[in-house]
Structure 1
Amino acid sequence: MYHAVTEEPNAATRELSVSPGAFAEQMAVLEDLGLHPLTTAELAAHWRTDGARPLPPRPVLITFDDGYEGVHRHALPVLAAHAFPATLFVATGWLRGAHDSGGGPDTMLDWDQVRELAAGGVEIGGHSHTHPQLDQLDDDTLWAELIRCKETVAAELGTAPASFAYPYGYSSRRVRARVRAAGFRQALAVGNGLARRAQGPYALHRLTVRRTTTPEEFQRLVLGHRIARDFARDRALTRGYALIRRARQVRRKAIRTRV
């Protein structure tokens, strides 16, 4: 899971950015190891058809969240050089253009660039409209975020997005059900673990690549080595945030009941 690809990230995107040089090196590692990238939709189609649509050997997903301009400027040429497909999950209200609602934390893609990415073999998925914590929204606001994102992508690209990624990786049973009802056929969380079929099509895990990820760490990640140790802190924080979010939900429900 990538976010911004840039030489000069701002304070908001620094931790979850990678430099263009590091991204190029990481894609070379995938090729040297004989891994074969595919899109999120292709992986889900394989699992849904019980293998009738075979996977390439040693499959791997390359995904980008949010929609930063550097994905077009820096990542697309590298992907093209390796003939690697990928998936980009866009927060439609953050992109530059007719649907821009503002709030993007750095320079974002415009819709012409998104179309060029799609033409270059990048699957375009949804990532909500304004990038909220979906599990903290009421039903109507949650539905509006999902449908506006889906309809905006469909209007701009001519095809509705099949895949979705939860902003911040946060979801719940209610959120996953609404994502499915909105017509998305699969969705990705974070989890910082390998994607497994047992996770189900609406809670697939990914591994976070950061600016501090060394070449050796990256190789360990894609080979599935020492993941539990490397992401122990992230998982502890995730569990803590989950408890806080559930407490907030309970409190809001209690307030609505009293009113």
Structure 2
Amino acid sequence: MSDQRVPILMYHSVATAPNDATRALSVAPEAFTEQMTLLSDLGFTPVSTAELARCWRSSGPLPRRPMLITFDDGYEGVHRHALPVLTKHGFPATLFVSTGWLRGAYDTGGALDEMLDWDQVRELADADVEIGGHSHTHPQLDQLADDALSFELLRCREVIADELGTRPVSFAYPYGYSSRRVRRAVREAGFGQSLAVGNGLARRRQGPYALQRVTVRRATGIEEFERLVEGRAIARIFARDRVLTKGNAMVRRARQVRRKAIRSRV
């Protein structure tokens, strides 16, 4: 069990006609239905983020062929298109919401497409969808100063607790970006585990604040989807993404060093 590899699928929007800003990461409803049917046919057993972390912390047993279905941001199509399919198969999932993007009293603007409102989020929570945090305004957390980082995490957690009556225990990093400082801040804000991207299968040894996910895109065909969940050829599928990620990481580290130097001179 110590080296068990678990696929964690990362979805964003599920939409028939997404806009240009979300198209690449927006899965068509028909494709989502086909993908969930395949998971069922292959004998996978979806669990929530909190359940996976709990089992790995306690060395407890996981179900046969465990995997996770996760959604980032909080797009309306998760309720309209994904929820009926999840309910049909009896699949739990995790939705990570950017609280300032959802429709309602906390809306700060900046959302990329039509978002959920809080009544819909409550319906999802009642239907076995774990609601996790994804920051308040969806910034690049590793580029924020400490006070702004703390605000993004605590405000997100506070809003979810106020709306749902329970504090979220799971978090996902916007854009997948994190750092040691960000991961520490997430833990100190009260989240028990957090998901990155990485485009690899999750393993216990990654630690509860750096669990990897694989990205499902609009261009992901059913054969490629099967390879992803089976853990076959992931490195080849995301080869270009890995090169870009390494380049971005170097740029981001340089920016952090420069900001620290500027702060030290103030």
Same fold (TM over 0.5): yes
Q: Give ranges in structure 2 of 5+ residues lacking alignment.
A: 1-9
One-letter identity of the residue aligned with 2:185? R
Aligned counterpart, 2:160: 153
After TM superposition, the structure 1 = structure 2 runs for residues 80-119 of structure 1, keeping only pairs within 5 Å, are 80-119=87-126
Question: What's the CA shift for 1:159?
Answer: 0.4
The correspondence for 1:6, drawn from 8, 15, 33, is 15
After TM superposition, the structure 1 = structure 2 runs for residues 7-26 of structure 1, keeping only pairs within 5 Å, are 7-26=16-35
Aligned counterpart, 2:64: 57
User: Are 1:122 and 2:129 counterparts?
Assistant: yes
One-letter identity of the residue aligned with 1:76? L
Question: What's the CA shift for 1:176?
Answer: 0.2
Which secondary structure does the structure 1 equivalent of 2:94 belong to? Answer: strand
Aligned counterpart, 1:200: 207
After TM superposition, the structure 1 = structure 2 runs for residues 200-239 of structure 1, keeping only pairs within 5 Å, are 200-239=207-246
Give me the whole-angstrom Cα distance separating, in 2, the residues matched to 1:148 and 1:183: 12
TM-score by length of 2: 0.96
List, as ranges, runs of 4+ consecutive aligned residues in structure 1 with deviation greater than 6 Å: none
Give me the whole-angstrom Cα distance separating, in 1, the residues matched to 2:169 and 2:46: 18
Give me the whole-angstrom Cα distance separating, in 2, the residues matched to 1:177 and 1:256: 21
After TM superposition, the structure 1 = structure 2 runs for residues 33-52 of structure 1, keeping only pairs within 5 Å, are 33-51=42-60
Give me the whole-angstrom Cα distance separating, in 2, the residues matched to 1:160 and 1:145: 15
Give me the whole-angstrom Cα distance separating, in 1, the residues matched to 2:144 and 2:181: 10
Which secondary structure does the structure 2 equivalent of 1:210 belong to? Answer: coil
Give me the whole-angstrom Cα distance separating, in 2, the residues matched to 1:177 and 1:131: 18
Question: What's the CA shift for 1:253?
Answer: 1.3
Which secondary structure does the structure 2 equivalent of 1:99 belong to? Answer: coil
Question: What's the CA shift for 1:188?
Answer: 0.1
Give me the whole-angstrom Cα distance separating, in 1, the residues matched to 2:166 and 2:48: 16
Which secondary structure does the structure 1 equivalent of 2:244 belong to? Answer: helix
Bigger relative contact order, structure 1 or 2 (CA pairs below 8 A, ≥6 apart) = 2
After TM superposition, the structure 1 = structure 2 runs for residues 157-196 of structure 1, keeping only pairs within 5 Å, are 157-196=164-203
Aligned counterpart, 2:4: none
User: Between Structure 1 and Structure 2, how many residues are aligned?
Assistant: 257
One-letter identity of the residue aligned with 1:152? V
Identity of counterpart residues, as a percentage? Answer: 74
- Root-mean-square deviation (CA, aligned residues, Å) is 0.5
Give me the whole-angstrom Cα distance separating, in 2, the residues matched to 1:8 and 1:245: 33
One-letter identity of the residue aligned with 2:90? A
Give me the whole-angstrom Cα distance separating, in 2, the residues matched to 1:175 and 1:133: 10
Aligned counterpart, 1:76: 83
The correspondence for 1:245, drawn from 224, 247, 252, is 252
Give me the whole-angstrom Cα distance separating, in 2, the residues matched to 1:81 and 1:235: 35
Q: Give ranges in structure 1 of 5+ residues lacking alignment.
A: none
Which secondary structure does the structure 2 equivalent of 1:89 belong to? Answer: strand
Question: What's the CA shift for 1:84?
Answer: 0.2
One-letter identity of the residue aligned with 2:219? T
Question: What's the CA shift for 1:115?
Answer: 0.2
Which secondary structure does the structure 1 equivalent of 2:102 belong to? Answer: coil
Question: What's the CA shift for 1:258?
Answer: 2.2
